């Protein structure tokens, strides 16, 4: 059962998985999303409680659906 | 194609759909999520760019997966 505290970590791991699958760097993902590189790093480490619209930006940049990044339940 | 501006509206419509499916009021959903009733109303009207953890709280209270609330793409 996913606990609330794990949601950021599981989401971040999904972002990292898809970024690596595409063989792009955090810098490139930052550019594609217009978000700061440090922010992308923090998202991947599960440190960010990011918003709906940033989830959307990241999913589009990774070429996946928003629900794909939340498929850990 | 979902546009970023529609994400909040589509998410809110999904919350309202599942809340009505369960036949519970916004007040009850607010109590179950420990979020304010006005906030729930604003989410359903697509006015809130809510966070990952609030998406989690609302999905658990509605008995659905987070990805179910984002399945509009």
In this structure, are residues B30 and B37 in contact, taking their beta carbons and an 8 Å threshold? yes
| Interface list for B 32-71 with A (CB within 8 A) | 49-53, 55-57, 65-68, 70-71
- Nearest Cβ partner of B53 from A4, A56, A67? A4
| Total domain count, chain B | 1
The residue written with tokens 């309202």 in the block is B16
Print the domain residue range for A64.
4-70
pLDDT per position as a tens digit, A25-54? 999 999 999 999 999 999 999 999 999 999
- Give the per-residue pLDDT at B73: 83
Q: How far apart are CA A71 and CA A50, in angstroms?
A: 16
In this structure, are residues A50 and A41 in contact, taking their beta carbons and an 8 Å threshold? no
- Nearest Cβ partner of B52 from A49, A65, A68? A49
CATH number of the domain encompassing residue B22? 1.10.260.40
A7 to chain B, any CB pair closer than 8 A? The answer is: yes
- Give the per-residue pLDDT at B16: 98
* pLDDT at A1 > cutoff 60: no
Contact B4/A71, CB-based, under 8 Å? Answer: no
Q: What is the mean pLDDT of chain A?
A: 94
In this structure, are residues B58 and B33 in contact, taking their beta carbons and an 8 Å threshold? yes
DSSP A8-39: HHHHHHHHHHHHHHTT--HHHHHHHHT--HHH
**Residue B73 covered by a domain:** no
Q: Which residues of chain B have pLDDT under 70?
A: 1-2
A27 to chain B, any CB pair closer than 8 A? The answer is: no
Q: How far apart are CA B39 and CA B45, in angstroms?
A: 10
């Amino acid at each position: 059962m996913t606990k609330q505290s794990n949601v950021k970590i599981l989401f971040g791991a999904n972002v990292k998985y898809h970024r690596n699958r595409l063989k792009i760097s955090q810098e490139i993902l930052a550019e594609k999303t217009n978000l700061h590189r440090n922010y992308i790093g923090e998202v991947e480490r599960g440190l960010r409680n990011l918003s709906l619209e940033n989830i959307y930006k990241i999913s589009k940049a990774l070429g996946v659906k928003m629900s794909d990044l939340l498929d850990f339940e």
